[in-house]
Amino acid sequence: MIHSSSSLRWALLASALCIPTVVQADDAQEIAELRKSATKMQKMMEQMQQRIAQLESKQKQQTAELAQAKKSAPVVASLPPQPVLKSESPTLEKEPTLPPQLLGKKAPVTYRRTFNDHQVPMSRPLDYTLDPDYNGYFSVPNTPIVMKLNAKPRVDATYDNRNTGAPSRFIPAKFPLRGDSDFGGGGQFNMNANGTQLIADVRAPSEAGNFRFYYQNDFFGSDTGDMSYRLQHIYGQYYGLKVGYTTSAWENGDVWPDTVDYEGPNAVIFARRAVAQFTHALNDSWNATVGVEKPDFYVDADQKLASLPDFAFNTRWEDEKWGHIQISSILRDIGARDASGEDFHDFGWGLNAGFNLNLGESDSVQFLGVYGEGVGGMGNDTSFLNSDGGFSSNGNFEALPYWSLMGAWTHHWNDRFRSSLVYGHVNLDPASGMGPDFYATSNYGAANVIWQLGDRWSLGLEGLYGFKEAVSGRNSDNIFRFQMGMVYSLFD
């Protein structure tokens, strides 16, 4: 027993002596593992800091590039922001994307924003536009197309000192002559909304080619009825090629004066027809257009004949500060068949020169001079007559000589008020077989004050003067009109 007890004591003593050694070894191993873990965590932190630095550097670079792009762009107009599309799952949301940006280049021609705007429907060379901000346009989803649907409701109230022959319009060619049964009649009041317009303008400004589709109508389809549909423009344009129904290349839409009268001066060119035109820009200021167009002429005969299309040309210089000059020409075949069935043809031609000249910030002048033979049917007044060709008393068919002059001056009193003075004279030389009471000459005058009530709302007051004389010397006497017009454009 004593031996056993002694052995037990020695065994216990040895175990006690070994415990500190074992504990000390375990602590060292744990410390080593902690140090190893700390080293790994330190490396992970360094990697995370490097990644954060890279992301911050990339973000700064993108911000600088975006700022430089905005600064270098000629004109930048963003479409209205698109709503963020959310999925059905509340945890999934698509990244918001920036709306496409429209880069417009302002046309160097002066945009005068007249009461009856003839400038917007005209096509422009290169990627020029009158409205580089694309006000009122909206994007078509998943396409490069932008579109503006516009309406211009309008009302005109007029008072004439006698019968004008067309109560809702002011057309000297329609004035009754002294001695006619409908001459005189005393003062006459009229009110109409026929000048109301509906417009669709479709473009793709982010694509090459300056694509455009344009549509416009008003409601002057009848001289006697109200709100009769009339197509004014419908055409497509791409890379300088324009096809459809619109203004002839012989007309200058930028030279129309600022009248309240919707019809406009007697002496301007008004030619709407089927066309195929091509415009080439020589540089930023010079361009030229050639057109093959429908031979839409008016002859004093039983039937008109067209063996060739009309060929129209123009060249123009334009500058935002000074204005523009356009010189145009037209060549045409004027044909007719008489009562016996015999065919006749004559050569028609015309030249016109027009300009708008800016005289400082407040004043501008417009001028148009026209001369030719067989072109009266494109005059704003004589287009209501058989004024392109007729038969002489000896049976010869003739293209009728025509000339006209128009001058106008516009003064801006301030940002809200402006006034214009306008004068036009037309002279037509009819064939001797066309009768003594056929149209020979007319005069037109206008003076107005236009109040720009808002950016899109205008009110105008105008006095008009008209006079017509026939070959025989009979005339219409002086006819005066007082007119008040109001027009509102929804999105211009």
Measured CA to CA, the distance from residue 271 to residue 404 in angstroms comes to 15
Which value, to the nearest 10 degrees, does the dihedral of the CA atoms of residues 226, 227, 232, 233 take? 180
CA distances from 457 to 413, 451, 487, 490 (A): 17, 9, 6, 9
Residue 70's pLDDT is: 56
- 37 lies in some domain: no
Q: How far is CA 421 from the centre of its chain?
A: 25
Residue type, 342: E
**Which segments of 321-380 are extended strands (E)?**
323-337, 343-359, 363-373
Q: Which of 201, 101, 76, 86 is nearest to 150 (CA)?
A: 201
Residue 73's pLDDT is: 52
Measured CA to CA, the distance from residue 442 to residue 479 in angstroms comes to 11
pLDDT tier at 3, thresholds 50, 70, 90: very low
- 92 lies in some domain: no
- pLDDT, mean of residues 362-391: 97
Residue 26's pLDDT is: 55
3-state secondary structure of 44: helix
Q: How far is CA 17 from the centre of its chain?
A: 104
Residue 120's pLDDT is: 96
Contact 418, 450 (CB under 8 A): yes
pLDDT tens-digit readout, 19-54: 444 445 556 676 677 677 767 777 777 777 777 777
Between 192 and 57, whose confidence is greater? 192
425 forms beta bridges with 405, 443
Give me the percent of the chain exceeding a pLDDT of 90: 75
* DSSP category for residue 194: T
Please count the structural domains in the chain.
Answer: 1
- 21 lies in some domain: no
pLDDT tens-digit readout, 97-117: 334 455 679 999 999 999 999
- 5 lies in some domain: no
CATH code, domain carrying 304 = 2.40.160.10
- 49 lies in some domain: no
Measured CA to CA, the distance from residue 75 to residue 29 in angstroms comes to 71
Residue 17's pLDDT is: 44
- 179 lies in some domain: yes
Q: How far is CA 486 from the centre of its chain?
A: 21
- Tell me which residue range forms the domain holding 357: 106-488
pLDDT tens-digit readout, 310-349: 999 999 999 989 999 999 999 999 999 988 889 999 999 9
- 20 lies in some domain: no
Measured CA to CA, the distance from residue 64 to residue 44 in angstroms comes to 31
- 287 lies in some domain: yes
Contact 390, 397 (CB under 8 A): yes
Residue 329's pLDDT is: 98
